[in-house]
């Protein structure tokens, strides 16, 4: 770079020295020769000679030339001057001045054009100048880069041949002719054969007489843009297809009004879900404000609108059933609290009156204000729920059969349990008769006999009541139950059986236990079944202490834990397979008892496990029960 500058500087210096020499020679010639100033025209050639070196050199050459011309004129006319000589001198000076000015203007134009040419080189767009026959006259760096042809290769070639495109179509030609310009999209070919999409703008070139002398065009590469656009459209189409073909109903909706209605009325002292659960009117009003923006075919089918167009703008998802209001209340509460997604199972009535169980999942989309764009997905679980109901019915029947068979096993103890108070009743009745039959009846003793008859009768009725409730075939009824009462009731039924086998049956209930949410009969069935299993396992005397303990404690996760622990031989397999249906080690066993216990406990939201007592002999079965019914908030957490 520096070397290049030195070379350029040296050539300018040499040219200026030569110019100065020529000037001096011309001056001497002008002074000595008898051409009366005509020689001074040669000065003009010197000005033109230095013009390419710059403005300053032109001005200097003009000034020096004028000075030398003046000097020659003065020296040549020291002995007097004619009027014509003075005129010639004046003309020479004027010519020098005009030449200097024209050189300066030429210099300025050249500089401007040079800068414009550099701008054309700098631009990333392609700039091509073509003559009327489409022959390329100019080809900038952008064109070189985009089409792969160098300037040397492109200039002089026919543009449409080089870039394999039509030039120009009749339509383009007429637009160019009429408007002097045209812009649009064209497709050309790169040197390597790839097709390039361009946004092109063409200007008609005309000479001063208005004759067309070709086209100047500037084009920008749209290939990437078009490809990205195409990919986006393909991707959109793919997702649209997935959306439409999804086996579940999905629609986009505006829930901003719904969320506002839910949030606006919520009092500060109540959690919003608790408040909404008690305000079905608000939930119904909020959901009525949610309008569908777009939906898929499954949504059209679910809401029976016939077409997507009819679905759009409508509000088919009404909270017009208690289950629907509860489900929507949960979703509204979660979204109002800021959840990104909320899900709930609910029940809706379709326009034709079909009641559908649906799992609704509402997801906040990234666009717009909160709730303004939500994606609602509805999974129709009506059939699944019907199947589940059938299974539940079958397991309830199985559990009932198991209870009845368990009662059969307990029949001897139960008979004894009932027989005892009955015998006592008969004895106290006889005794009462005797007291009455005396000459001086002791009414106080008669009174005591009646009291004992009543208490024994109540005891017998209680036993029968328990047996009847276990034998009854009723749909499970979930309620909040006192754990101590549950354990007492089970103990009453099984105590005699244990005692008969020489086993001590005890219970330990932790103080302050919360009530559990369960079906009374089913939990009793589980407890009695577990104790019965322990009694059966300890039937063979082992010599050691034979004890069964029912223990109830409060777990750290809020659930209540019940354990039946014995001092028998323990599970032969460590308890790994005992919940599998038909697993039994007993000759007359069915292997269904523990399997039914597991179904019962899991259906109530608990868990059950079996293991041997670590280090000590015996087995232990532990199960848990929830303290909250369904989605209800625990009573303790509801603030007044
Ligand atoms: P079944 O009593 O008809 O065999 P269960 O499902 O009630 O069916 O019990 C399955 C098996 O689990 C029993 O056969 C027995 O081997 C084992 N089992 C249950 N409880 C105990 C226990 N307390 N101690 C030892 N083994 C037990």
- Residue 196 phi, psi (nearest 5): -125, 130
Secondary structure element (H or E) that encloses residue 466, with its range:
helix 443-471
Q: Give the residue, by CA position, lying nearest to ligand 1 atom 12.
A: 578
Report the residue among 535, 585, 598, 621 best suited for mutation to probe ligand 1: largest number of ligand atoms under 8 A from its CB. Answer: 585
The answer to whether residue 105 scores a pLDDT higher than 60 is yes
User: Residue 271: its pLDDT value, please?
Assistant: 83
**Average pLDDT rounded to a whole number, residues 597-622:** 92
Enumerate the domain spans of the chain.
2-119, 124-226, 247-380, 403-475, 478-640
- What architecture does CATH give domain 124-226? 2-Layer Sandwich (3.30)
Tokens matching residue 434: 């005797």
Q: Give the residue, by CA position, lying nearest to ligand 1 atom 26.
A: 571
How far apart CA 286 and CA 259 sit, in angstroms, is 7
The answer to whether residue 86 scores a pLDDT higher than 50 is yes
The answer to whether residue 634 scores a pLDDT higher than 80 is no
Q: Of 456, 550, 539, which Cα lies nearest the Cα of 497?
A: 539
User: Residue 41: its pLDDT value, please?
Assistant: 67
CA of 623 relative to ligand 1 center, distance in Å? 16
Report the residue among 505, 550, 594, 617 best suited for mutation to probe ligand 1: largest number of ligand atoms under 8 A from its CB. Answer: 594
**Edge-to-edge order in the sheet of strand 249-254:** 291-295, 249-254, 374-380, 355-364, 341-349
Report the residue among 526, 535, 580, 589 best suited for mutation to probe ligand 1: largest number of ligand atoms under 8 A from its CB. Answer: 589
The answer to whether residue 30 scores a pLDDT higher than 80 is no
SS3 116: helix
pTM: 0.53
Sign of CA dihedral 234, 239, 242, 244: negative
The answer to whether residue 347 scores a pLDDT higher than 80 is yes
CA of 519 relative to ligand 1 center, distance in Å? 23
Of 77-91, 204-218, 284-298, 582-596, the one with minimum mean pLDDT is 77-91
Q: How confident is the model at residue 250 (pLDDT cuts 50, 70, 90)?
A: very high
% helix, strand, coil for the chain, step of 5: 55, 20, 30
Q: Give the residue, by CA position, lying nearest to ligand 1 atom 1.
A: 591
User: Residue 268: its pLDDT value, please?
Assistant: 78
CA of 357 relative to ligand 1 center, distance in Å? 39
Q: Which atom of ligand 1 is nearest the CA belonging to 533?
A: 20
CA of 153 relative to ligand 1 center, distance in Å? 94
Q: Of 392, 374, 379, 307, which Cα lies nearest the Cα of 335?
A: 374
Give me the percent of the chain exceeding a pLDDT of 90. 38
CA of 583 relative to ligand 1 center, distance in Å? 8
CA of 440 relative to ligand 1 center, distance in Å? 61
The answer to whether residue 394 scores a pLDDT higher than 70 is yes
Residues with CB under 6 A from ligand 1: 533-534, 537, 566, 568, 570-572, 578, 583-586, 589-595, 619
Q: Of 295, 293, 292, which Cα lies nearest the Cα of 307?
A: 295
Instruction: List pLDDT tens digits, range 356-367.
Output: 899 999 999 988
* DSSP type of residue 558: S
How far apart CA 428 and CA 456 sit, in angstroms, is 10
Tokens matching residue 213: 């002398």
Instruction: List pLDDT tens digits, range 502-512.
Output: 999 999 999 99
How far apart CA 463 and CA 454 sit, in angstroms, is 14
SS3 139: strand
| CATH number for the domain whose boundaries are 247-380 | 3.30.450.20
Tokens matching residue 583: 């697993």
- Residue 59 phi, psi (nearest 5): -65, -45
362 in Cβ contact with 374 (< 8 Å): yes
Q: How confident is the model at residue 636 (pLDDT cuts 50, 70, 90)?
A: very low
CA of 510 relative to ligand 1 center, distance in Å? 27
Mean pLDDT of the chain: 85
Report the residue among 593, 610, 617, 620 best suited for mutation to probe ligand 1: largest number of ligand atoms under 8 A from its CB. Answer: 593
CA of 409 relative to ligand 1 center, distance in Å? 15
Q: Would you say domain 478-640 falls under CATH 3.30.565.10?
A: yes
The answer to whether residue 3 scores a pLDDT higher than 80 is no
- Distance, first Cα to last Cα, the chain: 87
Higher pLDDT, 265 or 213: 213
The answer to whether residue 269 scores a pLDDT higher than 90 is no
Asked whether this chain's domains 247-380 and 478-640 adopt the same fold, the reply is: no
The answer to whether residue 14 scores a pLDDT higher than 50 is yes
**Average pLDDT rounded to a whole number, residues 128-154:** 92
The answer to whether residue 265 scores a pLDDT higher than 90 is no
């Amino acid at each position: 770079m520096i070397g290049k500058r030195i070379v350029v500087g040296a050539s300018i210096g040499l040219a200026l020295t030569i110019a100065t020499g020529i000037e001096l020679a011309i001056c001497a010639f002008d002074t000595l020769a008898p051409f009366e100033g005509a020689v001074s025209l040669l000065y003009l050639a010197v000005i033109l000679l230095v013009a390419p070196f710059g403005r300053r050199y032109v001005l200097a050459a003009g000034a020096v030339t004028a000075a030398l011309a003046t000097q020659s004129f003065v020296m040549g006319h020291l002995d007097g001057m004619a009027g014509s000589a003075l005129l010639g001198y004046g003309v020479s000076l004027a010519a020098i001045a005009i030449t200097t000015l024209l050189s300066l203007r030429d210099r300025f134009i050249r500089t401007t054009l040079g800068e414009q040419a550099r701008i054309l080189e700098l631009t990333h767009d392609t700039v091509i100048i073509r003559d009327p026959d489409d022959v390329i006259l100019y080809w900038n760096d952008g064109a070189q880069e985009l089409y792969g042809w160098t300037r040397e290769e492109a200039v002089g070639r026919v543009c449409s041949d080089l870039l394999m495109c039509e030039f120009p179509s009749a339509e383009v030609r007429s637009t160019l002719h009429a408007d002097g310009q045209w812009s649009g999209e064209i497709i050309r070919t790169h040197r390597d054969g790839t097709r390039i999409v361009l946004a092109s703008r063409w200007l008609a070139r005309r000479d001063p007489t208005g004759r067309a002398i070709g086209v100047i065009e500037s084009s920008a590469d749209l290939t990437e843009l078009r490809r990205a656009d195409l990919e986006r459209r393909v991707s959109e189409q793919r997702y649209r297809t997935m959306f439409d073909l999804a086996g579940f109903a999905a629609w986009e909706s505006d829930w901003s009004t719904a969320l506002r209605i839910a949030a606006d009325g919520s009092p500060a002292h109540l959690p919003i879900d608790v408040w909404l659960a008690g305000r079905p009117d608000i939930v119904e009003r909020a959901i009525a404000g949610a309008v569908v923006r777009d939906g898929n075919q499954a949504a059209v089918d679910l809401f029976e609108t016939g077409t997507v167009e009819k679905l759009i703008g409508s509000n088919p998802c009404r909270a017009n059933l208690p289950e629907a209001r509860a489900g929507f209340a949960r979703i509204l509460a979660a979204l109002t609290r800021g959840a990104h997604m909320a899900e709930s199972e609910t029940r809706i009535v379709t326009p034709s009156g079909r009641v559908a169980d649906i799992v609704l999942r509402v997801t906040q989309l990234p666009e717009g204000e909160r709730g303004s764009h939500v994606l609602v997905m509805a999974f129709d679980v009506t059939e699944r729920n019907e199947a589940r109901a059938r299974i539940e019915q079958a397991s309830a029947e199985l559990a009932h059969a198991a209870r009845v068979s368990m009662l059969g096993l307990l029949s001897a103890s139960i008979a004894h349990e009932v027989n005892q108070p009955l015998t006592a009743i008969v004895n106290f009745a006889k005794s009462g008769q005797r007291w009455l039959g005396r000459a001086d009846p002791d009414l106080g003793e008669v009174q005591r006999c009646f009291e004992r008859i009543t208490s024994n009768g109540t005891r017998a009725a209680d036993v029968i009541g328990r047996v009847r409730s276990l034998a009854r075939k009723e749909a499970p009824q979930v309620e909040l139950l006192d754990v101590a009462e549950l354990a007492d009731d089970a103990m009453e039924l099984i105590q005699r059986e244990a005692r008969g086998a020489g086993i001590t049956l005890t219970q330990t209930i932790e103080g302050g236990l919360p009530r559990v949410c369960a079906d009374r009969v089913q939990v009793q069935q589980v407890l009695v079944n577990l104790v019965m299993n322990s009694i059966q396992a300890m039937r063979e005397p082992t010599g050691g202490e034979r004890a069964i303990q029912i223990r109830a404690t409060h777990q750290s996760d809020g659930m209540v834990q019940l354990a039946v622990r014995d001092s028998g031989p323990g599970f032969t397999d460590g308890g790994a397979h005992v919940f599998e249906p038909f697993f039994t080690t007993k000759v007359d066993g069915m292997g269904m008892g523990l399997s039914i216990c597991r179904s019962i406990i899991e259906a109530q939201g608990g868990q059950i496990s079996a293991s041997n007592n670590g280090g000590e002999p015996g087995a232990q079965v532990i199960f848990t029960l929830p303290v909250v019914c369904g989605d209800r908030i625990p009573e303790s957490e509801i603030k007044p």
